[in-house]
């Protein structure tokens, strides 16, 4: 019974450390200047980004988010089409994965189809991200 309890405590602590690591990386690199966890700022909320990428990219969601962080992006989110995210080439692959995993984990905080989080606005008609254009 103690082994199971210790395992659960270990999982909780590792999840907490993972979140703290991601938050530290994101704070130190100014991510929260434009993004918030669950509400819009100058850029979409991380919850909306996570939800939208899970919805439209499926198993590729992590890769797509990593690519956007590493290479920057523009025009992926209709309400923020004038905003450009700069590239962050300073992150290691492990740091990119930590941040992407954290963003995907926030998807449960998104409202509806993204609601005020800047998430998916598709109508179920294949319009998805960028009006169906890639």
Is residue 22 in some structural domain? yes
Q: Give the range of the structural domain holding residue 47, as residue numbers without chain letter.
A: 2-121
pLDDT (tens digit per residue) in 52-87: 999 999 999 999 999 999 999 999 888 898 899 999
The CATH number of residue 73's host domain is 1.10.760.10
130 lies in some domain: no
The Cα–Cα gap between 23 and 19 comes to: 6
Number of folded domains in the chain?
1
∠ CA 36-34-72, nearest 5°, is: 115
Q: Where does the pLDDT of residue 133 fall: very low under 50, low under 70, confident under 90, or very high at 90 and above?
A: very low
Residue 109 falls inside a structural domain:
yes
Q: Indicate the average pLDDT of the chain.
A: 79
- Is 95 inside a domain boundary? yes
Question: Residue 61: CA atoms inside 13 Å, Cβ hemisphere, count?
Answer: 21
Sign of torsion, CA 48 77 70 26? negative
Is residue 88 within 8 A of residue 69, CB to CB? The reply is yes
Quickly state the pLDDT bin for 17 (edges 50, 70, 90): low
**Does residue 128 fall inside a structural domain?**
no
């Amino acid at each position: 019974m103690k082994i199971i309890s210790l395992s659960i405590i270990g999982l909780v602590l590792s999840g907490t450390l993972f979140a703290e690591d991601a938050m530290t990386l994101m704070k130190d690199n100014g991510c929260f200047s434009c993004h918030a966890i669950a509400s819009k700022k100058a850029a979409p909320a991380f919850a909306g980004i996570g939800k939208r990428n899970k919805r439209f990219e499926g198993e590729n969601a992590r890769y797509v988010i990593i690519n956007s962080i590493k290479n920057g992006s523009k025009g992926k989110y209709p309400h923020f089409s004038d905003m450009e995210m700069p590239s962050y080439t300073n992150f290691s692959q492990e740091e990119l994965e930590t941040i992407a995993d954290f963003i995907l984990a926030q998807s449960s905080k998104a409202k509806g189809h993204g609601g005020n989080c800047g998430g998916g606005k598709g109508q179920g008609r294949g319009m998805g991200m960028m009006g169906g254009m890639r």
